[in-house]
Protein backbone atom coordinates (compact mmCIF):
# COMPACT_ATOMS: atom_id res chain seq x y z
CA UNK A 1 0.00 0.00 0.00
CA UNK A 2 1.29 3.44 -0.95
CA UNK A 3 0.78 5.99 1.81
CA UNK A 4 1.71 9.67 1.78
CA UNK A 5 2.13 11.72 4.96
CA UNK A 6 1.40 15.35 4.20
CA UNK A 7 1.78 18.65 6.01
CA UNK A 8 1.55 22.29 4.99
CA UNK A 9 2.62 25.64 6.37
CA UNK A 10 0.54 28.72 5.60
CA UNK A 11 0.52 32.50 5.85
CA UNK A 12 -2.26 32.37 8.45
CA UNK A 13 -5.26 30.41 9.64
CA UNK A 14 -7.99 31.35 7.15
CA UNK A 15 -7.99 29.87 3.66
CA UNK A 16 -11.35 31.51 3.01
CA UNK A 17 -9.90 34.83 4.18
CA UNK A 18 -7.13 34.71 1.58
CA UNK A 19 -4.29 33.01 3.45
CA UNK A 20 -2.09 30.83 1.26
CA UNK A 21 0.10 27.74 1.41
CA UNK A 22 3.82 28.53 1.68
CA UNK A 23 5.23 25.02 2.15
CA UNK A 24 4.17 21.48 1.27
CA UNK A 25 5.98 18.46 2.66
CA UNK A 26 5.18 14.85 1.73
CA UNK A 27 6.79 11.61 2.90
CA UNK A 28 6.11 8.32 1.10
CA UNK A 29 5.70 4.91 2.70
CA UNK A 30 5.22 1.75 0.69
CA UNK A 31 4.09 -1.30 2.70
CA UNK A 32 4.94 0.64 5.89
CA UNK A 33 8.52 1.30 4.84
CA UNK A 34 10.04 4.69 4.01
CA UNK A 35 11.00 4.90 0.34
CA UNK A 36 12.85 8.24 0.27
CA UNK A 37 10.56 9.34 -2.57
CA UNK A 38 9.46 12.52 -0.81
CA UNK A 39 8.07 15.77 -2.17
CA UNK A 40 8.88 19.20 -0.78
CA UNK A 41 8.19 22.72 -2.01
CA UNK A 42 8.48 26.22 -0.61
CA UNK A 43 5.96 28.44 -2.37
CA UNK A 44 5.57 32.13 -3.08
CA UNK A 45 2.13 32.92 -1.58
CA UNK A 46 1.93 36.32 -3.27
CA UNK A 47 1.21 37.89 0.12
CA UNK A 48 2.95 38.27 3.47
CA UNK A 49 2.52 35.91 6.40
CA UNK A 50 0.75 37.09 9.51
CA UNK A 51 3.01 37.87 12.44
CA UNK A 52 1.58 34.99 14.51
CA UNK A 53 2.18 32.55 11.63
CA UNK A 54 5.79 33.73 11.32
CA UNK A 55 6.32 32.85 14.98
CA UNK A 56 5.11 29.31 14.25
CA UNK A 57 7.02 28.44 11.06
CA UNK A 58 9.78 31.08 10.96
CA UNK A 59 9.71 31.23 7.14
CA UNK A 60 10.34 34.85 6.21
CA UNK A 61 8.46 36.70 3.49
CA UNK A 62 11.78 37.59 1.86
CA UNK A 63 12.81 33.92 1.65
CA UNK A 64 9.65 33.09 -0.30
CA UNK A 65 9.86 35.89 -2.86
CA UNK A 66 11.73 33.85 -5.51
CA UNK A 67 10.00 30.52 -4.84
CA UNK A 68 7.56 29.01 -7.36
CA UNK A 69 3.88 29.83 -7.13
CA UNK A 70 1.43 27.02 -6.46
CA UNK A 71 0.20 27.09 -10.06
CA UNK A 72 3.71 26.13 -11.21
CA UNK A 73 3.86 22.96 -9.07
CA UNK A 74 0.17 22.00 -8.91
CA UNK A 75 0.35 19.25 -11.52
CA UNK A 76 3.46 17.73 -9.96
CA UNK A 77 1.75 17.65 -6.57
CA UNK A 78 -1.37 16.06 -8.06
CA UNK A 79 0.64 13.43 -9.96
CA UNK A 80 2.62 12.58 -6.82
CA UNK A 81 -0.48 12.16 -4.65
CA UNK A 82 -2.63 10.42 -7.23
CA UNK A 83 -4.51 7.37 -5.87
CA UNK A 84 -2.43 7.27 -2.66
CA UNK A 85 -3.79 6.98 0.86
CA UNK A 86 -2.95 10.31 2.44
CA UNK A 87 -2.39 10.70 6.18
CA UNK A 88 -2.66 14.19 7.70
CA UNK A 89 -2.81 15.48 11.27
CA UNK A 90 -5.87 17.72 11.54
CA UNK A 91 -6.73 17.02 7.92
CA UNK A 92 -9.55 19.57 7.66
CA UNK A 93 -7.06 22.42 8.00
CA UNK A 94 -4.60 21.28 5.33
CA UNK A 95 -7.26 20.06 2.91
CA UNK A 96 -9.15 23.34 3.27
CA UNK A 97 -6.06 25.25 2.16
CA UNK A 98 -5.16 22.83 -0.62
CA UNK A 99 -8.72 22.92 -1.96
CA UNK A 100 -8.52 26.72 -2.26
CA UNK A 101 -5.15 26.47 -4.02
CA UNK A 102 -6.50 23.82 -6.41
CA UNK A 103 -9.61 25.91 -7.05
CA UNK A 104 -7.45 28.89 -8.03
CA UNK A 105 -5.73 26.85 -10.75
CA UNK A 106 -8.92 25.21 -12.03
CA UNK A 107 -8.31 21.76 -10.53
CA UNK A 108 -10.74 19.43 -8.80
CA UNK A 109 -10.79 19.25 -4.98
CA UNK A 110 -8.05 17.40 -3.12
CA UNK A 111 -9.98 14.23 -2.28
CA UNK A 112 -10.80 13.59 -5.95
CA UNK A 113 -7.10 12.95 -6.65
CA UNK A 114 -6.35 10.52 -3.79
CA UNK A 115 -7.79 7.15 -2.74
CA UNK A 116 -8.73 8.28 0.78
CA UNK A 117 -7.61 10.45 3.69
CA UNK A 118 -6.79 9.39 7.26
CA UNK A 119 -6.80 12.05 9.97
CA UNK A 120 -4.39 11.09 12.77
CA UNK A 121 -5.93 13.72 15.04
CA UNK A 122 -9.24 11.86 14.85
CA UNK A 123 -7.43 8.57 15.46
CA UNK A 124 -5.58 9.98 18.47
CA UNK A 125 -8.74 11.44 20.03
CA UNK A 126 -10.38 8.01 19.80
CA UNK A 127 -7.34 6.29 21.30
CA UNK A 128 -6.55 8.92 23.95
CA UNK A 129 -9.83 10.67 24.81
CA UNK A 130 -9.48 13.73 26.99
CA UNK A 131 -5.72 14.03 26.45
CA UNK A 132 -3.63 16.46 24.44
CA UNK A 133 -3.25 15.08 20.93
CA UNK A 134 -1.12 17.64 19.13
CA UNK A 135 1.74 16.25 17.05
CA UNK A 136 4.22 17.22 19.77
CA UNK A 137 2.08 15.57 22.46
CA UNK A 138 1.84 12.36 20.43
CA UNK A 139 5.60 12.36 19.84
CA UNK A 140 6.16 12.60 23.59
CA UNK A 141 3.57 9.92 24.36
CA UNK A 142 4.81 7.47 21.74
CA UNK A 143 8.54 8.02 22.20
CA UNK A 144 9.13 9.73 18.83
CA UNK A 145 12.17 12.01 18.88
CA UNK A 146 11.03 15.54 18.01
CA UNK A 147 13.98 17.35 19.58
CA UNK A 148 14.79 18.97 16.21
CA UNK A 149 11.37 20.61 15.99
CA UNK A 150 11.95 24.09 17.37
CA UNK A 151 9.77 25.57 14.62
CA UNK A 152 7.09 23.99 12.46
CA UNK A 153 8.25 22.78 9.05
CA UNK A 154 6.11 20.84 6.58
CA UNK A 155 8.66 18.18 5.63
CA UNK A 156 9.90 17.63 9.19
CA UNK A 157 6.34 17.44 10.49
CA UNK A 158 5.41 14.94 7.76
CA UNK A 159 8.40 12.79 8.77
CA UNK A 160 7.40 12.95 12.45
CA UNK A 161 3.81 12.14 11.51
CA UNK A 162 4.93 9.01 9.66
CA UNK A 163 6.75 7.84 12.79
CA UNK A 164 3.75 8.67 14.98
CA UNK A 165 1.37 6.79 12.65
CA UNK A 166 3.56 3.68 12.64
CA UNK A 167 3.47 3.74 16.44
CA UNK A 168 -0.28 4.38 16.57
CA UNK A 169 -0.87 1.35 14.33
CA UNK A 170 1.96 -0.78 15.70
CA UNK A 171 -0.30 -3.78 16.10
CA UNK A 172 -0.53 -4.03 12.31
CA UNK A 173 3.17 -4.66 11.82
CA UNK A 174 2.85 -8.40 12.29
CA UNK A 175 0.35 -8.50 9.43
CA UNK A 176 2.71 -6.97 6.89
CA UNK A 177 4.76 -9.19 4.59
CA UNK A 178 7.82 -8.30 2.56
CA UNK A 179 7.41 -8.10 -1.20
CA UNK A 180 10.12 -9.07 -3.63
CA UNK A 181 12.42 -6.41 -5.08
CA UNK A 182 10.98 -6.94 -8.56
CA UNK A 183 7.41 -6.25 -7.40
CA UNK A 184 6.19 -3.01 -9.06
CA UNK A 185 6.25 -0.30 -6.39
CA UNK A 186 3.16 1.37 -7.80
CA UNK A 187 1.03 -1.75 -7.40
CA UNK A 188 -1.41 -1.45 -4.51
CA UNK A 189 -3.62 -4.54 -5.07
CA UNK A 190 -1.05 -7.16 -4.01
CA UNK A 191 -2.19 -10.78 -4.06
CA UNK A 192 -0.20 -12.92 -1.62
CA UNK A 193 -0.48 -16.72 -1.72
CA UNK A 194 -0.60 -18.00 1.85
CA UNK A 195 -1.42 -21.61 0.96
CA UNK A 196 2.16 -22.77 1.58
CA UNK A 197 2.24 -21.37 5.13
CA UNK A 198 1.38 -23.67 8.02
CA UNK A 199 0.51 -21.97 11.27
CA UNK A 200 1.82 -23.83 14.34
CA UNK A 201 -0.72 -25.15 16.85
CA UNK A 202 0.36 -24.21 20.38
CA UNK A 203 -1.26 -26.62 22.78
CA UNK A 204 -1.80 -25.80 26.46
CA UNK A 205 0.50 -27.56 28.92
CA UNK A 206 -0.72 -29.40 32.05
CA UNK A 207 -0.37 -26.34 34.29
CA UNK A 208 -2.34 -24.18 31.88
CA UNK A 209 -5.08 -26.81 31.54
CA UNK A 210 -5.36 -27.08 35.32
CA UNK A 211 -5.56 -23.29 35.71
CA UNK A 212 -8.21 -23.15 32.99
CA UNK A 213 -10.29 -25.86 34.67
CA UNK A 214 -10.04 -24.06 38.03
CA UNK A 215 -11.30 -20.86 36.43
CA UNK A 216 -14.24 -22.69 34.85
CA UNK A 217 -15.14 -24.19 38.21
CA UNK A 218 -15.08 -20.75 39.84
CA UNK A 219 -17.33 -19.33 37.11
CA UNK A 220 -19.68 -22.28 37.42
CA UNK A 221 -19.86 -21.87 41.20
CA UNK A 222 -20.52 -18.10 41.00
CA UNK A 223 -23.38 -18.71 38.56
CA UNK A 224 -25.01 -21.33 40.76
CA UNK A 225 -24.22 -24.15 38.34
CA UNK A 226 -25.93 -22.45 35.42
CA UNK A 227 -22.98 -22.03 33.07
CA UNK A 228 -23.84 -22.94 29.48
CA UNK A 229 -20.84 -25.19 28.90
CA UNK A 230 -21.62 -27.36 31.96
CA UNK A 231 -25.26 -27.76 30.93
CA UNK A 232 -24.26 -28.46 27.33
CA UNK A 233 -21.68 -31.01 28.45
CA UNK A 234 -24.22 -32.77 30.65
CA UNK A 235 -26.79 -32.98 27.87
CA UNK A 236 -24.25 -34.37 25.41
CA UNK A 237 -23.20 -37.02 27.95
CA UNK A 238 -26.80 -38.29 28.04
3-state secondary structure 183-210: CCCCCCCCCCCCCCCCCCCCCCCHHHHH
**pLDDT at residue 187 in the model:** 45
47-61, 109-123, 165-179, 184-198, range with the lowest pLDDT? 184-198
- Residues facing 28 on adjacent strands: 4
Q: Distance from first CA to last CA of the chain, Å, rounded?
A: 55
The residue from 57, 89, 113, 152 that is catalytic is 152
152 is known as an active-site residue: yes
Residue % of the chain over a pLDDT of 90: 66
pLDDT tens digit string along 9-48? 999 999 999 999 999 999 999 998 999 999 999 999 999 9
pLDDT band at residue 213, thresholds of 50, 70 and 90?
Answer: confident
pLDDT averaged over every residue in the chain: 86
Residue 233 has pLDDT above 90, yes or no: no
Residue 186 has pLDDT above 50, yes or no: no
**pLDDT at residue 198 in the model:** 59
**pLDDT at residue 222 in the model:** 72
Give the chain's domains with CATH numbers: 2-175 (3.30.420.10), 206-237 (no CATH)
**pLDDT at residue 194 in the model:** 54
Amino acid sequence: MRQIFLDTETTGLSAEGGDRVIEIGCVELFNRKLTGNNLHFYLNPERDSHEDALKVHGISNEFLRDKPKFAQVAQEVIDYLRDAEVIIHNAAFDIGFLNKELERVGQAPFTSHVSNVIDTLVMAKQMYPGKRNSLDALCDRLGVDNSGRTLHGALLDAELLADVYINLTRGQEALMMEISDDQPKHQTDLQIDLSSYQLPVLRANDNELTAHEDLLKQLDKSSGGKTVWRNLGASLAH
